[in-house]
Amino acid sequence: MPFRIPARTLWQASKGSMKPYSFAPINSKTPQWTRRYAASSTEPPTRTAIVTGSARGIGKAIALRLAQDGYDICVNDISANKTQAESVVREIQQLGRKAIPYTADVSQLSEVQSMVSVKALLDLTEHDLKRMFEVNVYGVYNCYSTAAKQMIAQGTPGKILGAASIVAFKPFALLSHYSASKWAVRGLTQAFAMEVAEHKITVNAYAPGIVGTAMWDLIDEELGKKQGAKKGDTIKKYSEELIALGRTSVPEDVSNTVSFLCSKDSDYMTGQTIVIDGGIIFT
């Protein structure tokens, strides 16, 4: 489960400066849905991606992979992660791509901590549930709608990606509100895909499984407290018993899939939530 808050959403853009929230898809001067594979004497158009929550973990891996794919990157995260975001910007610049940091809380909450509430369903408070949906659902909606409106205004096609989770397919104990929020992300992805298809915009989501990040360390610790397990035992147990490939995922497993979803090879995909979990959920 990619327990990373705030939710990561990727907006794909091109042809322009690195100003945050300036959205335009790949090959914006090309007629809609026309592909050109022949070599050209002119330089390819600038491709830009805004990656939210990209100061660390999966978001960072996605930002670096897209930079390697030739994108200029806007590295977005909350103010608490500003230093880490600036470090990611420097890494991207060392790859020869343009990058800028941009501090913004996509959920519009005044205070969003990078933490996960691990509670039994009957122990949840109304605040727990509201906060989870503000971050994971409202945050994704804000990103999807802002990107889509700008692309429509510019009259150009593009791609929007959101972060779901394997719990968008099967809930996990003690993570019921997180699971419910990710089911909502999956539903929003399908609904947006239907409504913006006429504008030649695709909307998909990626659903990681158990990922070896700092966030999972917190999940492992909190679940261990509930279950009386030592630190590290929960993730080990889950990896051995749940994952067919027998290992915990790394952020690069996810960023490789996101790279595909950003490429022309996925042009005919929309409304899909792609699972990358090593074989926990089979769709």
Tokens for 184?
């909502």
Contacts of residue 225, defined as CB under 8 A and 6 or more positions apart, other chains included, come to: none
**What superfamily would CATH give domain 9-20+47-209+252-276?**
NAD(P)-binding Rossmann-like Domain (3.40.50.720)
pLDDT of residue 187: 97
pLDDT of residue 271: 98
Which range is most confident: 47-61, 71-85, 266-280? 266-280
DSSP-assigned letters across all residues of 90-107: HHHHHTT--EEEEE--TT
> In this predicted model, what pLDDT tens digit does every residue of 247-258 receive, in sequence order?
889 889 999 999
Tokens for 91?
């890494």
**How confident is the prediction for the chain on average, in pLDDT?**
81
Contacts of residue 61, defined as CB under 8 A and 6 or more positions apart, other chains included, come to: 250, 251, 252, 254, 255
Does 38 score more than 80 pLDDT? Answer: no
pLDDT of residue 8: 53
User: Any idea which of 9-18, 120-129, 205-214 has the lowest mean pLDDT?
Assistant: 9-18
Which amino acid appears at position 269 of this protein? M
Catalogue the active-site residues. 178
Residue 9 pLDDT level (bands cut at 50, 70, 90): low
**What DSSP element (H or E) covers 63?**
helix 57-68
pLDDT of residue 110: 39
> In this predicted model, what pLDDT tens digit does every residue of 169-187 receive, in sequence order?
998 877 899 999 999 999 9
**What DSSP element (H or E) covers 88?**
helix 82-94
pLDDT of residue 175: 83
Could you tell me which residue, 69 or 12, shows the higher pLDDT? 69
Helix (H, G, I), strand (E, B) or coil at 276: strand
Radius of gyration of the chain (CA): 19
What are phi and psi for residue 158, nearest 5 degrees? 180, -175
| 167/276 Cα distance (integer angstroms) | 12
Residue 230 pLDDT level (bands cut at 50, 70, 90): confident
Tokens for 227?
């279950």
Other Cβ atoms less than 10 A from the Cβ of 195: the count is 12
> In this predicted model, what pLDDT tens digit does every residue of 14-34 receive, in sequence order?
444 343 333 333 333 333 443
